[in-house]
Amino acid sequence: MSRFGTLGAKLYRGEMAYDFVGRRKFWYAISVLLVIVSLTGLGVRGLYMGVEFQGGAVLTTPPDASISQDDARRVAEDASGNDARVQELGSGALRIQVTGLDTEESGEVREAIAAELGVAATDVNAEVVGPSWGDQMTDKALRGVIIFLALVSIYLAIAFEWRMALGALVALLHDLAITVGVYAFVGFEVTPGTVVGMLTILGYSLYDTVVVFDKVKEKTGSVTKQTRFTFGELANQGINATVVRSVNTSVVALLPVGGLLFIGTGLLGGGMLKDIALALFVGLAAGTFSSIFIATPVVVDFRLRDPEIKAHDRRILAKRTERGETEDSANAPTAVHAAVSRPGAPADEALATDEEGFVVVQRRQPVSRSRGRGRPSGKRR
Alpha-carbon span 57 to 20, nearest angstrom: 50
Question: Region 259-285: what's the mean pLDDT?
Answer: 74
Whether residue 108 is found in the same domain as residue 240: no
Q: How many CB atoms lie within 10 A of CB 273?
A: 16
Beta bridge partners of 84: 98
| Percent of the chain whose pLDDT exceeds 90 | 8
Question: Region 47-63: what's the mean pLDDT?
Answer: 80
Examine residue 260 and state whether it is found in any structural domain, yes or no: yes
Examine residue 43 and state whether it is found in any structural domain, yes or no: yes
pLDDT, position 320: 82
Question: What does the pLDDT look like over 224-250, one tens digit per residue?
Answer: 888 888 898 999 988 988 888 888 888
User: Which CATH number goes with the domain that contains 213?
Assistant: 1.20.1640.10
Closest C-alpha to 83, from 186, 160, 163, 189:
189
Q: Which of 129, 159, 193 is the last residue of a domain?
A: 129
Question: What does the pLDDT look like over 331-368, one tens digit per residue?
Answer: 333 333 333 444 444 444 444 444 444 444 444 445 44
Whether residue 249 is found in the same domain as residue 153: yes
pTM comes to: 0.71
pLDDT, position 337: 39
Crossing angle of helices 296-303 and 24-44, in 10° steps, is: 120
Q: Tell how strand 16-18 and strand 358-363 pair up.
A: antiparallel
Whether residue 99 is found in the same domain as residue 243: no
Examine residue 14 and state whether it is found in any structural domain, yes or no: yes
Whether residue 181 is found in the same domain as residue 79: no
pLDDT, position 332: 36
Whether residue 114 is found in the same domain as residue 176: no
| 15-19, 230-234, 303-307: least confidently modelled range | 15-19
The 3-class secondary structure across 270-327, one letter per residue, is CCHHHHHHHHHHHHHHHHHHHHHHHHHHHHHHHHCCCHHHHHHHHHHHHHHHHCCCCC
Instruction: State the average pLDDT for the chain.
Output: 76
When divided into structural domains, the chain yields a total of 2
The b/e string for 279-297 (b: 16+ C-beta within 10 A; e otherwise) is bbbbbbbbbbbbbbbbbbb
How does residue 318 score in pLDDT terms, banded at 50, 70 and 90? confident
Residue 28 has pLDDT above 70, yes or no: yes
Whether residue 221 is found in the same domain as residue 102: no
Whether residue 159 is found in the same domain as residue 234: yes
Whether residue 93 is found in the same domain as residue 210: no
Examine residue 266 and state whether it is found in any structural domain, yes or no: yes
Which residue range is the domain that position 120 belongs to?
56-129
**Alpha carbon separation from 185 to 64, 127, 163, 188, 272 (Å, rounded):** 30, 28, 33, 8, 18
Q: How many CB atoms lie within 10 A of CB 317?
A: 17
Alpha-carbon span 163 to 159, nearest angstrom: 11
Of the segments 86-90, 195-199, 254-258, 293-297, which one has the largest average pLDDT value?
293-297
